[in-house]
């Protein structure tokens, strides 16, 4: 498919940029509707008779297929064209939006969520490289503005769901509106050629930046997730992973650029800190918010509103303290915010949520910008593989693990408090983490009001314990960022790498 030449930052197509922006809004519409309507007596979790771990698995299914489509399309997007990717993503979103309202089981909800995530990932697969190419000299600023579309959708979509009092079936179809709008906006647009292609950097050179190690990380996440879905033994998944990584390594003859591999690994705690906790935050805060007579969804909407506003200023802040300085400051605030959310109650939740919202604001777009700055030869694959691995990590491990932590804490605490109630409401289940005892929502509803209060108290304490544990993740990130700041300081300071200066030897 033919492409239009890349536009400069002063000549870019505004409609193209804002079309990509609204496309990201559409992806978060589906996310916020799914999260807000997951729990509660009228939520899809209770309506479909699911445990916390099963809810976590569906929340995860809203993320890991997102990642697979980002990665797979990044491998071929320069061949098939950004316009084809746009149409594919739009069709997936539309199909999901008209399918979810009719879901009547775990399997149906899982597959519809899968389709939506596949479309959402395709959106990011073309939006990220398009903006990085159009604004090649100011990536941090414009990628932060682009990714203001995500919290923007969380705010607008969340307000629509809560204020209109939409049931979970109607709420999960609101993605139709932004999807139709961006479809109209982008259907007549011509997309630019990526800066890697324009510079004449070969496809193999792009693959070499990722290398065998990067390919092994991505392949392992994809293969083990698909293996879990299709029931493959762990040994088979390992063999497939090693074969794929070996083929990739033999073709590229590169282990990958160390800087790129480091950021792939950092995406594990980063994505879980932002998206994993966002997936569960309304559930974690349900007890405290209910005590104040407020919908717990307002916590996510509030922190998203902070992100929406501040991401328009991310470029200016990064210009003053460097992108890595911005990431270090964000990690510090995120750790403080999560720890505070696990300890406070009442109106103090607003203060803790503000700190957490400030912390998570710049993680995602600034990380993409740093990778695009320092490894421009990695092209569309590099910037999207970073995002894809993050989504895979939180979708496969992060969100389900947080659900499993709650189930196991509830199992232990409820047994200690009341073995009788435990025997009535806990039942044997199986997940990717093995066998566990899950809370049966229907059985809890049949308990006396006093016993229900006792169960709810145990659940709320388990949720706070999970948040306190998750506060360790941004601490790990902070250590990495400080190390990189010191490294670049020894090299004369942080500067974006020039395309013609980029090269990678075997092994990095």
Write the secondary structure of 234-245 as one string of H (helix), E (strand) and C (coil): HHHHHHHHHHHH
* Mean pLDDT over each residue of the chain, to the nearest integer: 85
Q: Is residue 296 part of a domain?
A: yes
Is residue 22 in a domain? yes
Assigned domain for 9 exists: no
By the 8 A CB rule, do 407 and 436 touch? yes
Domain with 119 in it: 14-408+468-501
User: Residue 24's closest CA among 126, 135, 108, 165?
Assistant: 126
Domain with 247 in it: what CATH number? 1.20.1250.20
Assess if residue 450 is contained within a domain: no
**322 close to 337: Cβ distance less than 8 angstroms:** no
Is 52 a member of any domain?
Answer: yes
Q: What integer pLDDT is reported at residue 280 of this predicted model?
A: 67
pLDDT tens track for 363-409 = 999 999 999 889 988 888 999 999 889 878 876 776 667 777 778 77
Q: Which residues, at least 6 apart from 27, have a Cβ–Cβ distance to it below 8 Å?
A: 66, 93, 120, 123, 124, 150, 153
Residue 5 lies inside a defined structural domain of this protein: no
Cα–Cα separations (whole angstroms), residue 292 to 42, 307, 347: 20, 24, 8
Q: Tell me: the pLDDT tens digits for 209-229?
A: 999 999 999 999 889 888 877
Residue 452 forms part of a structural domain:
no
Q: Does any domain span residue 107?
A: yes
Using a CB cutoff of 8 Å and minimum separation of 24, what contacts does 238-246 make? 241/216, 242/216, 244/215, 244/216, 244/219, 245/212, 245/215, 245/216, 245/219, 246/212
Domain count, the chain: 1
Q: What is the pLDDT of residues 120-148, one digit of tens each?
A: 999 999 999 898 888 877 888 889 999 99
Residue 464 to residue 471: CA distance in whole angstroms: 11
Residue 279: pLDDT band with limits 50, 70, 90? low
CA of residue 195 relative to chain centroid, distance: 26
Stated length of the chain: 508
């Amino acid at each position: 498919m033919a492409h239009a030449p890349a536009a400069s930052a002063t000549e870019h197509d505004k409609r193209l940029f804002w079309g990509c922006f609204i496309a990201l809004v559409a992806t978060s519409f589906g996310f916020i509707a799914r999260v807000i309507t997951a729990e509660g007596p009228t939520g899809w979790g209770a309506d479909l008779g699911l445990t916390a771990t099963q809810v976590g698995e569906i929340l995860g299914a809203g993320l890991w297929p997102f990642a697979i489509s980002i990665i797979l399309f990044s491998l071929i997007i320069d061949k098939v064209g950004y316009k084809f990717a746009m149409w594919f993503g739009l069709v997936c979103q539309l199909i999901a939006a008209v399918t979810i309202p009719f879901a009547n089981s775990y399997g149906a909800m899982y597959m519809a969520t899968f389709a939506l995530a596949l479309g959402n990932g395709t959106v990011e697969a073309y939006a990220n490289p398009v903006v990085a190419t159009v604004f090649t000299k100011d990536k941090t600023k414009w990628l932060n503005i682009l990714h203001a579309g995500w919290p923007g959708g969380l705010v607008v979509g969340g307000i629509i769901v809560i204020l209109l009092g939409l049931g979970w079936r109607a709420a999960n179809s609101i993605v139709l509106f932004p999807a139709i709008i961006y479809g109209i906006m982008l259907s007549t647009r011509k997309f630019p050629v990526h800066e890697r292609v324009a510079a004449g950097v070969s496809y193999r050179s792009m693959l070499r930046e990722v290398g065998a190690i990067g390919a092994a990380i991505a392949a392992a996440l994809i293969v083990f997730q698909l293996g879990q879905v299709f029931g493959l033994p762990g040994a088979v998944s390992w063999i497939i992973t090693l074969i794929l990584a070996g083929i990739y390594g033999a073709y590229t003859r590169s282990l990958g650029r160390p800087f790129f591999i480091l950021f792939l690994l950092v995406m594990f705690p980063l994505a879980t800190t932002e998206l994993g906790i966002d997936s569960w935050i309304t559930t974690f805060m349900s007890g405290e918010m209910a005590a104040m007579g407020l919908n717990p969804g307002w916590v996510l909407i509030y922190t998203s509103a902070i992100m929406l506003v501040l991401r328009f200023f991310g470029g200016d802040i990064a210009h003053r303290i460097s992108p890595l300085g911005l990431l270090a400051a964000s990690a510090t605030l995120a750790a403080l915010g999560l720890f505070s959310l696990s300890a406070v109650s009442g109106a103090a939740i607003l203060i803790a949520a503000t700190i957490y919202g400030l912390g998570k604001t710049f993680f995602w777009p600034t990380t993409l910008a740093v990778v695009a700055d320092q490894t421009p030869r990695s092209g569309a694959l590099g910037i999207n593989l970073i995002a894809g691995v993050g989504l895979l990590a939180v979708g496969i491990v992060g969100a389900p693990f947080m659900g499993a932590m709650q189930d196991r804490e509830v199992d232990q605490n409820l047994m200690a408090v009341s073995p009788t109630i435990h025997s009535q409401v806990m039942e044997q289940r199986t997940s990717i983490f093995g066998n566990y005892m899950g809370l049966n929502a229907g059985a809890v509803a049949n308990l006396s009001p006093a016993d229900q209060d006792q169960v709810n108290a145990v659940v709320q304490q388990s949720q706070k314990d999970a948040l306190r544990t998750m506060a360790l993740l941004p601490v790990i990130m902070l250590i990495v960022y400080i190390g990189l700041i010191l490294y670049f300081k020894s090299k004369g300071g942080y500067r974006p790498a020039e395309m013609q200066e980029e090269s990678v030897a075997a092994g990095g």
